[in-house]
């Protein structure tokens, strides 16, 4: 068993303190820059940015759009390898800020272009277009998109996992297995 | 409309060659370098020229530059800054992204590759070794006439027997799955997908999302060129055969194991169509040997293991945005063939190939970083591509099988990266522009 495997024990809840800056030791290099570490809460980001004044209704409209898109095709976000996404609006000194927090299973930039393509292809107008400083050519310029995301990422200083390092696919497989066993036991009656 | 008279032939055509040579050059004098380029440009054919005269030609030349090389030619800083970040950094600087660690690290690369001193490559393909020697003599005479131009190193290509079809030193049939560029006039074989927009492979044209990749400046540079990732991979033939003997047990078992690692029988026949027994006629039939998918046919990898080479390098209908990740491959084998049954002789042999794409970071680096070296690709846990992954003996390989899968632990490195560079392959007009630049 490799060191990485030994460390990633789902049965032992784990917490990780993360040094200032968000990296543990020398960060691994990804295609678009250094990669934030995998923690007991898997990979993730917390992107915070100021919204363009007066655009708040667009964000609520976007929420309804995403809800409908996922209802129409429950797997439409599958390529993002997600566990959870949270979108938050909050005030600082009278201005509205936006937080986009995601927990997912691949490192920061592995599937970046896929994410950009997904947003572009599904016609989901991303709320990012209503953030100050977001590149207008994001649909065709992945590096500019990545740059914006990286500049607005606020790394965690502490993360915790009750079932650490487990991927969404592994969880889904375990649940499917459980369901299969239930069916099997039913058939044995 | 593709400008086939301005695109270097190598992007869209393959020379009918059995030998070749790559000459890696360094420039110590800008004027000398430009004189070399001006002279050799006459010998670099376009796609159109090669298509018209393939039968008469005996040899074919292509020319490409590293970022350092274009600076050494005298290209200005403003123009140099318009090249994408990964190309400016060069392949050696991207080692961590590409998985070039341990024995694969640029510190161990050969022939000056990755040192920053490779400025250009002249790629020669020839019908026979006599023609190759003639061309090399001609080229060395040219180099001798150009001040400050030096051959840093070279690599001779040799096809491996049997010569009837292209294959590598491990015996796998090659060139089975190549994307076709829209407007090139080529027809994709069944299963190879519809022709792709030229901008995926050639600069200055719209790509699959209707965009034109970030423009190079001045505009003379940005049309009809492309990027090439060069990889020199040593194939450890003795080690590979020993592995097959150890884990395959019988000759049939060895062949099946070889097929499970690749996803195809060595004949080229797809495992998905022939999961139990080879079918060389199918392997040789381009109308049938690439016509398959995975999502419905083999979702769990019982025929083609999820981590097999062909399933990683071209996941077909099991990956998103495949049309944005395709690459054109060129190149060949080098080094003498190791006869069957002979002990490993310690001589280097392998594949020296170019990956052609419009965006190194989106296409080549993605493939290396995610498909090849992501240990958790398809939730595999502790695997890398069995052939081109960065191996150090700690990874495993899982072969799905009912009732219980087979897991091979401690997969050895069947290949070692011995060198690489990122090159810019300009269009023909751009070659002439570079030959006059700054002078």
Q: Which pLDDT tens digit goes with each residue over A36-52?
A: 999 999 999 999 999 99
pLDDT at B55 over 80: no
| Among B296, B313, B227, CA closest to B262 | B313
User: Tokens representing B412?
Assistant: 């050895």
pLDDT at A108 over 80: no
| Among B197, B164, B128, B152, CA closest to B24 | B152
Decide if the complex's ipTM is over 0.85.
yes
Is B211 within 8 Å of A140 when comparing Cβ atoms? yes
The Cα–Cα gap between B196 and A116 comes to: 19
Is A117 within 8 Å of B381 when comparing Cβ atoms? no
Helical residues (DSSP H) of chain A, grouped into ranges = 3-7, 56-72, 112-122, 142-152, 168-187
Give residues 357 to 416 of B whose Cβ lies within 8 Å of A.
361-362, 365-366, 369-370, 374-376, 379, 381-382, 394
Q: What is the mean pLDDT of residues B22-45?
A: 97
Is B211 within 8 Å of A139 when comparing Cβ atoms? yes
First to last CA, chain A: 40
Burial of B53 (0-12, 13-18, 19+ CB in 10 A): exposed
**What are residue A85's DSSP bridge partners?**
A102
Of A4, A117, A141, the CB nearest to B321: A117
Position A143 scores a pLDDT of 82
pLDDT at A2 over 50: no
Name the most confidently modeled range: A140-154, B60-74, B152-166.
Answer: B60-74
The Cα–Cα gap between A156 and A141 comes to: 27
Position A3 scores a pLDDT of 42
Is A142 within 8 Å of B362 when comparing Cβ atoms? yes
DSSP string spanning B242-307? HHHHHHH-SHHHHHHHHHHHHSB-TTS-BTTT-SSS--HHHHT-TTTTT---STTT-TT-SSS-TT
For B303-362, how does the pLDDT look when each residue is reduced to its tens digit (9 = 90+)? 999 999 999 999 999 998 899 999 999 999 999 999 999 999 999 999 999 999 999 999
| Among B325, B45, B315, CA closest to B201 | B325
For an interface test with A, give the residue of B98, B105, B210, B369 to mutate (most A CBs within 10 A): B369
Q: What rounded mean pLDDT belongs to chain A? A: 89
Position A140 scores a pLDDT of 79
Rg (CA), chain B: 21
Q: Calculate what percentage of chain A has a pLDDT beyond 70.
A: 93
| Residues 6 or more apart in contact with residue B138 via CB below 8 angstroms | none
Q: What is the mean pLDDT of residues B59-67?
A: 97
Position A1 scores a pLDDT of 35
The Cα–Cα gap between B260 and B383 comes to: 14
Alpha-carbon distances, residue B193 vs A112, B83, B198, B307 (angstroms): 24, 30, 14, 22
Is B316 in contact with B293 (CB distance < 8 Å)? yes
For B380-413, how does the pLDDT look when each residue is reduced to its tens digit (9 = 90+)? 989 999 999 999 999 999 999 999 999 999 999 9
Helix B129-145 vs helix B30-41: angle between axes, to the nearest 10 degrees? 140
- pLDDT band for position B183 (cuts 50, 70, 90): very high
Of B85, B97, B324, the CB nearest to A29: B97
- Cβ contacts of A142 on chain B, cutoff 8 Å: 362
Query: How many residues make up chain B in this entry?
Result: 439
Position B213 scores a pLDDT of 74
pLDDT at A122 over 70: no
Is B300 touching A (CB cutoff 8 A)? no
The Cα–Cα gap between B49 and B278 comes to: 40
Element (H, E) at B406: strand B406-408
Position B285 scores a pLDDT of 96
For an interface test with B, give the residue of A2, A33, A105, A113 to mutate (most B CBs within 10 A): A113
Position B439 scores a pLDDT of 60
Domain ranges of chain A: 12-187
Q: Count CB-CB contacts under 10 A for residue B168.
A: 21
Position B311 scores a pLDDT of 97
For B100-128, how does the pLDDT look when each residue is reduced to its tens digit (9 = 90+)? 999 999 999 999 999 999 999 999 999 99
Q: What rounded mean pLDDT belongs to chain B? A: 95
Is A66 in contact with A102 (CB distance < 8 Å)? no
Half-sphere exposure (CA, 13 Å, Cβ side) for A178? 6
- Cβ contacts of A34 on chain B, cutoff 8 Å: none
Distance from CA of A30 to the nearest CA of B (A): 5
For A134-178, how does the pLDDT look when each residue is reduced to its tens digit (9 = 90+)? 998 888 788 888 889 899 999 999 999 999 999 999 999 999 999
* Dihedral class, residue B102 (left if φ above 0, else alpha if ψ from -120 to 50, else beta): left
Position B203 scores a pLDDT of 97
pLDDT at A6 over 90: no
pLDDT at B299 over 60: yes
The Cα–Cα gap between B101 and B92 comes to: 11
Question: How many Cβ pairs closer than 8 A exist between chain A and B?
Answer: 56
- Cβ contacts of B320 on chain A, cutoff 8 Å: 79, 111, 114, 117-118
Query: How many residues make up chain A in this entry?
Result: 189
Is B315 in contact with B371 (CB distance < 8 Å)? yes
Q: Which range (A111-125, B256-270, B416-430) has the least confidence?
A: A111-125
Position B228 scores a pLDDT of 98
Is B97 within 8 Å of A31 when comparing Cβ atoms? yes
Of B365, B376, B394, the CB nearest to A31: B365
**CA of residue B357 relative to chain centroid, distance:** 10
Q: What is the mean pLDDT of residues B246-270?
A: 97
pTM of the model: 0.94
Position B139 scores a pLDDT of 98
For an interface test with B, give the residue of A31, A76, A142, A167 to mutate (most B CBs within 10 A): A31
**CA of residue B245 relative to chain centroid, distance:** 29
């Amino acid at each position: 068993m490799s060191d990485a495997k030994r460390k990633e024990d789902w049965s032992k809840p784990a917490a990780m303190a993360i040094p200032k800056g968000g990296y543990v030791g020398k960060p691994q290099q990804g295609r678009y820059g250094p990669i934030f570490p995998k923690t007991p809460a898997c990979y993730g980001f917390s992107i915070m940015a100021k919204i363009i004044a007066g655009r708040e209704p667009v964000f609520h409209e976007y929420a309804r759009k995403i809800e409908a898109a996922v209802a129409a095709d429950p797997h439409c976000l599958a390529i993002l390898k997600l566990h959870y996404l949270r979108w938050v609006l909050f005030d600082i000194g009278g201005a509205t800020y936006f937080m986009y927090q995601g927990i997912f299973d691949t490192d920061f930039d592995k599937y970046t272009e896929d994410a950009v393509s997904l947003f572009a292809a599904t016609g989901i107008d991303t709320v990012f277009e209503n953030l100050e400083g977001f590149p207008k050519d994001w649909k065709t310029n992945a590096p500019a998109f990545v740059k914006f995301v990286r500049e607005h990422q606020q790394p965690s200083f502490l993360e915790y996992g009750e079932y650490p390092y487990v991927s969404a696919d592994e969880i889904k497989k375990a649940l499917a297995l459980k369901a299969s066993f239930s069916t099997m036991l039913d058939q044995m009656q | 409309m593709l400008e086939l008279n301005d695109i270097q032939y190598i992007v869209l055509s393959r020379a009918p060659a059995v030998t070749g040579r790559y000459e890696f050059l360094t420039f110590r004098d800008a004027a000398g370098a430009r004189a070399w380029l001006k002279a050799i440009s006459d010998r670099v054919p376009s796609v159109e020229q090669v298509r018209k005269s393939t039968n008469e030609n005996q040899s074919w030349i292509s020319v490409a530059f590293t970022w350092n090389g274009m600076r050494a030619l005298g290209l200005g800083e403003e123009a140099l800054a318009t090249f994408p970040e990964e190309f400016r950094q060069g392949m050696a600087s991207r080692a961590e992204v590409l998985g070039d660690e341990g024995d694969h690290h640029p510190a161990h690369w050969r022939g000056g590759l990755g040192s920053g001193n490779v400025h250009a490559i002249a790629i020669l393909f020839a019908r026979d070794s006599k023609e190759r020697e003639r061309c090399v003599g001609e080229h060395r005479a040219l180099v001798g006439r150009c001040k400050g131009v030096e051959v840093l190193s070279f690599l001779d290509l040799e096809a491996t027997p049997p010569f009837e079809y292209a294959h590598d030193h491990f015996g796998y049939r090659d060139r089975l799955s190549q994307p076709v560029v829209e407007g090139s006039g080529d027809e994709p074989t069944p299963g190879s997908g519809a022709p792709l927009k030229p901008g995926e492979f050639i600069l200055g044209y719209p790509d699959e999302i209707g965009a034109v990749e970030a423009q190079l400046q001045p505009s003379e540079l940005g049309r009809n060129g492309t990027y090439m990732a060069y990889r020199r991979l040593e194939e450890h033939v003795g080690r590979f055969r020993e592995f097959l003997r150890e884990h395959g047990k019988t000759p049939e078992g060895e062949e099946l194991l070889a097929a499970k690692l690749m996803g195809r029988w060595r004949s080229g026949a797809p495992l998905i169509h022939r999961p139990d027994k080879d079918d060389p006629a199918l392997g040789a039939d381009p109308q049938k040997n690439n016509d398959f998918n995975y999502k419905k046919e083999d979702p769990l990898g019982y025929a083609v293991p999820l981590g097999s080479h062909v399933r990683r390098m071209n996941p077909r209908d099991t990956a998103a945005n495949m049309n944005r990740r395709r690459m054109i491959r060129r190149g060949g084998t080098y080094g003498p063939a190791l006869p069957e049954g002979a002990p490993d002789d310690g001589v280097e042999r392998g594949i020296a190939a170019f990956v052609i794409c419009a965006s190194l970071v989106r296409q080549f680096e993605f493939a290396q970083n995610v498909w090849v070296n992501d240990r958790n690709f398809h939730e595999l846990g502790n695997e890398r591509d069995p052939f081109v992954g960065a191996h150090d003996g700690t990874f495993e390989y899982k072969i799905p099988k009912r009732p219980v899968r087979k897991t091979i632990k401690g997969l050895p490195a069947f290949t070692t990266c011995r060198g690489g560079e990122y090159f810019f392959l300009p269009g023909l007009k751009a070659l002439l522009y570079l030959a006059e630049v700054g002078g």
